[in-house]
C-alpha cells in the first residue's frame, strides 16, 4: 500500500501475512512494529557520518537483542514488505539516490545484516508480495513470479495497464492465488495459481474498474471494491461465483483497504476502510441465534453461502481516521461466543488494528451483542513516526 502524496509523512504501510507486524516507509527510512504490543522492532536512523543504521529489538526472535547493521541505502522507501515474522525483508526505494532506484528490489537478511540479493528491472516496481514459496513483483503491464529461495524466475504474466500496482495475494499453502485486474474499463480480475503457474479463473465482479481486493486467510474467498466504492462483493474462488454483496453506502467513496477475519474456515467478518474516515464491518456466515434476520450478524442463511439479504445494514465505526487520509485495518483476533444468561450477551469479540498514513497506529476491541449493537474500546494508540 503506497501513497505518493507529500501531504502525509508515510509513503507506504503494510501488515505482514499473519498481521503480527506492520511496516511503514517514510522519506527518512522505515520502521517495523509488533502489532500485539505496539513495540518498535526495527528503526532506520542516520548516524553522524550519514550511514544508515537499523536498530533492531529482536525480543521473541531466535537472535539476541540490540543488533545493528549497515544498510547500503540512504533516503526514502516506497515499498517495505516482510515475510511473516522472519528475517527476510523486501525494500524498494523512492528514487532519491541511484542506490534507491524504484527499479531495484533489495532483499535483506535483517538478523545478520547481509544483502541477500538485488534484482534490477527496466521499469519501476509498483508492488511486491511474498510467501514462503513465491516472490511476486508487479510492474505497470507485467507481473514477475520468482521462487523465493533460489530467486529463479518462474513466470511472467502480461497484464492490462495497472498503474496503481493493484493486486491481492493469498499466502495459504492450499490456495496460493494471486489476483490481478483483468480490465481497465470494468471490474474484472484474473486469479492465478502461483505454484502451478496457471490461470485459475476470471471473475467479473463490478461494472467499474477495481480499486481494492483481498483474499480470505484460507484463500477460498476474495473481496473486491470498484472505483465507486458503494458495493463490496465477495466471490468463492473455486467456482468464481458471487457469495455476498454488501452496500457500503449511497455516495461514492474510495476504498483504501479490505481485510477478512482470520478464521480458518468460512470468514466471520470483512473490514473496509474508506476515504470517509470510517471503518465498515460486514458479516459473512456468522449466524445469530440460529435464525435468519435483517441484522448484520443474522443476515446469512445458516449453513449456506448466499448473498446478504439486507446489504444496506452493516456496522460502521465513524471517524476512525481523518477523512481523505489513506488507512488500513486488519482483524488480528476474533472470538464467537455461544450461549449466555446475560440479557445482552456478547456474541462476537474482535481485536482490530489500524494504520493511517498520518502516522497513527490504533488497536480497538470490538464487541457485538445479540441486538447487533457494537461497542468499540480503544486499547492502544501510538504515533508511528515522529512529529
Q: Is residue 137 part of a domain?
A: no
In a domain, 105, yes or no: yes
Distance (Å, whole) CA 234 – CA 385: 35
Residue 375 in domain:
no
- Inside any domain, residue 323: no
Backbone φ and ψ for 363, nearest 5 degrees, come out as -125, 125
Sheet with 153-158: strands ordered across: 127-130, 134-138, 142-147, 153-158
The CA distance from 347 to 339, in Å, is 8
How many structural domains comprise the chain? Answer: 1
3-state secondary structure of 99: helix
Q: Is the entire prediction scored with pTM above 0.85? A: no
Beta-strand runs (E) in 20-113: 21-26, 29-34, 40-46, 52-56, 68-70, 77-82, 88-93, 104-109
Dist CA 86 CA 222 (whole Å): 26
CA 76 to chain centre: 21
Rounded Cα–Cα distance for residues 157 and 138 (Å): 9
Number of helices and strands (H, E) in the chain?
A: 0, 30
138 neighbors 125 (Cβ within 8 angstroms): yes
- Could you give the dihedral angle defined by the CA atoms of residues 354, 332, 316 and 212, in that order, rounded to the nearest 10 degrees? 70
d(CA 276, CA 319): 8
Give domain status of residue 116, yes or no.
yes
* CA 210 distance to own-chain centroid: 16
Q: Which domain holds residue 98?
A: 1-125
* pLDDT (tens place) for every residue of the chain, 387 residues total: 544 444 557 888 999 998 989 998 888 788 888 888 888 888 765 444 444 444 444 444 433 233 233 333 446 788 999 999 888 889 888 876 766 789 999 887 777 666 778 899 999 999 999 999 999 999 999 999 999 989 999 999 999 999 999 999 998 889 999 999 999 999 999 999 999 999 999 999 999 999 999 999 889 999 999 999 999 999 999 989 998 889 888 888 999 999 998 876 667 789 999 999 999 998 886 543 333 333 333 333 333 334 444 443 578 888 888 899 999 999 988 887 665 555 567 778 889 999 998 888 999 999 888 777 788 899 988 887 654
Is the residue at 177 inside a domain?
A: no
202 inside domain: no
Gap between the Cα atoms of 208 and 184, Å rounded? 9
For 261, the 3-state DSSP assignment is coil
Cell readout for 18 is 499473519
Residue 82 forms part of a structural domain: yes
Amino acid at each position: 500500500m503506497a501513497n505518493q502524496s507529500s501531504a502525509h509523512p508515510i509513503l507506504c504501510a503494510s501488515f505482514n501475512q499473519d498481521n503480527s507486524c506492520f511496516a511503514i516507509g517514510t522519506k527518512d527510512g522505515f520502521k517495523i512494529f509488533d502489532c500485539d504490543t505496539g513495540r518498535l522492532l526495527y528503526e532506520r536512523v542516520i548516524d553522524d557520518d550519514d550511514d544508515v543504521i537499523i536498530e533492531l529489538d529482536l525480543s521473541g526472535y531466535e537472535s539476541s537483542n540490540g543488533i545493528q547493521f549497515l544498510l547500503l541505502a540512504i533516503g526514502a522507501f516506497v515499498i517495505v514488505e516482510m515475510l511473516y515474522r522472519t528475517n527476510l525483508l523486501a525494500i524498494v526505494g523512492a528514487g532519491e539516490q541511484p542506490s534507491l532506484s524504484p527499479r531495484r528490489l533489495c532483499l535483506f537478511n535483517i538478523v545478520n545484516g547481509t544483502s541477500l540479493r538485488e534484482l534490477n528491472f527496466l521499469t519501476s516496481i509498483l508492488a511486491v508480495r511474498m510467501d514462503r514459496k513465491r516472490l511476486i513483483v508487479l510492474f505497470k503491464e507485467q507481473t514477475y513470479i520468482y521462487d523465493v529461495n533460489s530467486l529463479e524466475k518462474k513466470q511472467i504474466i502480461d497484464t492490462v495497464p495497472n498503474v496503481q500496482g493493484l493486486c491481492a495475494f493469498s499466502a495459504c499453502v492450499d490456495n496460493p492465488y494471486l489476483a490481478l485486474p483483468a480490465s481497465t474499463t470494468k471490474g474484472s480480475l484474473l486469479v492465478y495459481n502461483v505454484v502451478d503457474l496457471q490461470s485459475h479463473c476470471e471473475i467479473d465482479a463490478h461494472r467499474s474498474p477495481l480499486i481494492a481486493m483481498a483474499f480470505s486467510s484460507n484463500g477460498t474467498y476474495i473481496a473486491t471494491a470498484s472505483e465507486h466504492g458503494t458495493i463490496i462483493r465477495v466471490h468463492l474462488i473455486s467456482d468464481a461465483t458471487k457469495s455476498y454483496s454488501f452496500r457500503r453506502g449511497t455516495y461514492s467513496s474510495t476504498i483504501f483497504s479490505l481485510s477478512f477475519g482470520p478464521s480458518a474456515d468460512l470468514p466471520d467478518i470483512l473490514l473496509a476502510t474508506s476515504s470517509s474516515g470510517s471503518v465498515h464491518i460486514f458479516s459473512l456466515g456468522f449466524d445469530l441465534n440460529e435464525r435468519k434476520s435483517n441484522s448484520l450478524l443474522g443476515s446469512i442463511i445458516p449453513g449456506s453461502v448466499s448473498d446478504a439479504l439486507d446489504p444496506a445494514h452493516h456496522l460502521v465505526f465513524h471517524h476512525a481516521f481523518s477523512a481523505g487520509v489513506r488507512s488500513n485495518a486488519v482483524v488480528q483476533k476474533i472470538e464467537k461466543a455461544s450461549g449466555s444468561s446475560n440479557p445482552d450477551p456478547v456474541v462476537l469479540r474482535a481485536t482490530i488494528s489500524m494504520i493511517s498514513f498520518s502516522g497513527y497506529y490504533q488497536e480497538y476491541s470490538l464487541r457485538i451483542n445479540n441486538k447487533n449493537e457494537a461497542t468499540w474500546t480503544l486499547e492502544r494508540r501510538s504515533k508511528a513516526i515522529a512529529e
